[in-house]
Structure 1
């Protein structure tokens, strides 16, 4: 395992851009929670906090793919730095508006600006891996590294923003998110050697080519169901812990879930799997749905901890396979856009999943609400097993990179 990861991280520039990307995407797991903590503390209204958070999330989902497409065409260094500056400015103005009590919809407008400009760092880092990895079998390890980084973000980020906002100052958590985004993105774009060349006219002249919607479309639909599963399970877990009188332990439960995913990601990155990306994605998604099925029947906090830990083992392998499948399908000049499409599909499912689970909790209780993420997993698995019956054996027509460019 160590030698496999050493090979990947030993590639020129790999450790530096992967570490920079990890810091730069910490805000993914910090901003929405930080908004809720700040607004609810300053106004006492969770409905207002939820609406400001939604004002951030919706433009983020809408603008993610166009921004990723712009990165592919113009280059990471020309797009990411201006975008993160707008993100930081918008979030800072939102914080100021809440702190000074500016009326609605001023905080919502600033939150929307920030969400629209949030850079797609995860996609950009994976595009760099796709560019520098000479052996495509090693690319699985590279994507596993980023899956582990994602899980690290979702373990560290929520705990960090909560501690800073509750123990230091309500603004401190979001302030830390702004600093992480600016510092990490600046460090990433400073690394020119591993940056994929832009594909736009006058910037290398590579033809973009078709993006492969016969795969990307259904894959994005599956990602949407995964978003419902993740968003719903998070709310259900908080409500479950609260019903048992142990709400402060909800973060621990979710952290254990993420820890299981992180460990699975480490294992997947270290072994050589014979199954293709499509098969791994299908079976991974079905396994996740099956592992979520016992949760509605659990009444013990510690049994829930064990089952969430086990369910986490299906997350990273599924996500790693989905990214690998995208990388195999889309042209190299549109890799950032392709990954962003599926990740945006996942993000778009989080809010509906949380909302539906919230309704079920109010009507039937926390345990029953776990059927929502389980059902979403089975719907996604059904799509995964039925959407590509004629795609077997078909390979994506990826254009050959011009002479002199890696990959």
Structure 2
């Protein structure tokens, strides 16, 4: 199995397909805060409590809730269609986020904050999987659909980089909870707007497939391999997202942390677009362990800032590591299209989001402890080594994604090219 390349013309054709504009814009608004929520929560609670360890636990509670809720919501969406589940989730999330802000502001006990953060994450709208699965209805199989999936991966990666950067910048606002409120509001409004667009409202539930048990889409070994790759990616990023703000805060410039994190986005987006044109290694079963291993090595190399506290040196190493982010997220998205059982498109991508979120939660929580015990550079070293270890595990499991499996496209309804063309032609914003 190999990931195909996509040209700029394919990206343009996918994004300008009939019916695509409204859900694309709404999805962008709702997905942008996905990676912002965790760090915004961490920085808000850290300012309120004065403890990175306590803040890491609350942030991890939010991310753990997302990891549990995204798969469950994905299954419901695959069975009922996306509109009603997303609207309910958006309303509940807005309410849960409001309660959490009140609890932090009134300095409630840490245990209560963790529980409330868990609940907020649990009802966070499962927009990434729904947005990705919509493309199977808007464009036919082939290079344009690959470009659409690559767009989803690239845009999500940009959000994973810019979101934390914006959160780190907003923490210096007069009220440190500004970043969290902005993120929660954008997610609520964007998810609801996406749910009521016409292309989303006309989607039909997926046909019933063979029983795959309690694990759902994750029952397939190939999906477990993809989820493991996503877990490793999130774990490494989680360490960096805590290590960088801690490093800049110790150096006396907290706001610089946001600028350093945003530096990732420049290299990541440019490298991601170029990489999608000529991906290497081309076979996905080789690409995922290679990219995660190299990512871990470069993040570990960021630890050299310890004896030499240089922002410039950190930026150079971060740019090199950032160039490998989009290629990983794109590989995960392309692999889902092949590894997922039929009729589980949203749930399958939910597992990828869940795995990345669990990795972020574990990385941020562990990094907070490591930072307080041994300093920020140690967080980079620990995160990088964890990525290398999981890359070795991916290499051992590479046969589960070997090229002997035929390429399949999963969608809510029929995946026949002619049917996709008919739906595209009859769908309008």
TM-score (norm 1): 0.87
Query: Is there any run of 5+ residues in structure 2 with no aligned partner, and where?
Result: 1-6, 422-429
Q: Distance in 2 between matches of 1:370 and 1:302?
A: 16
Q: Distance in 2 between matches of 1:355 and 1:185?
A: 27
**In the alignment, does 2:241 pair up with 1:239?**
no
Q: Deviations over 1:305-328 (max 9, x none)?
A: 112111111111111111111111
* Mapped contact 1:282–1:381 kept (Cα < 8 A): yes
* Mapped contact 2:154–2:330 kept (Cα < 8 A): no
Equivalence for 1:202: none
| Equivalent in 267, 271, 283 of residue 264 of structure 1 | 271
Q: Deviations over 1:332-372 (max 9, x none)?
A: 42011111112211211223223444444445443343222
Describe the SS at the equivalent of 1:307. helix
Q: Pick 1 or 2: higher relative contact order, CA cutoff 8 A, min separation 6.
A: 2
Name the stretch that deviates more: 340-349 or 236-245: 236-245
* Mapped contact 2:337–2:409 kept (Cα < 8 A): no
- Cα shift at 1:44: 4.7
**In the alignment, does 2:133 pair up with 1:127?**
yes
Equivalence for 2:121: 115
The alpha-carbon distance between structure 1 residues 131 and 395, as it changes in their structure 2 partners (threshold 3 A), is farther
RMSD value, Cα:
3.0
Equivalence for 1:367: 377
Report 1:161-176 matches (<5 A).
161-164=167-170, 166-176=172-182
- Cα shift at 1:229: 0.9
**In the alignment, does 2:405 pair up with 1:395?**
yes
Q: Distance in 1 between matches of 2:101 and 2:350?
A: 27
Report 1:7-406 matches (<5 A).
7-44=13-50, 46-101=52-107, 105-164=111-170, 166-194=172-200, 196-199=203-206, 205-207=207-209, 210=212, 211=217, 213-270=220-277, 275-298=282-305, 299=308, 300-389=310-399, 392-395=402-405, 402=414, 405-406=419-420
Instruction: Report the number of matched residues.
Output: 402
TM-score (norm 2): 0.83
Q: Distance in 1 between matches of 2:404 and 2:253?
A: 51
* Mapped contact 1:331–1:397 kept (Cα < 8 A): no
The alpha-carbon distance between structure 1 residues 352 and 35, as it changes in their structure 2 partners (threshold 3 A), is closer
The alpha-carbon distance between structure 1 residues 98 and 372, as it changes in their structure 2 partners (threshold 3 A), is closer
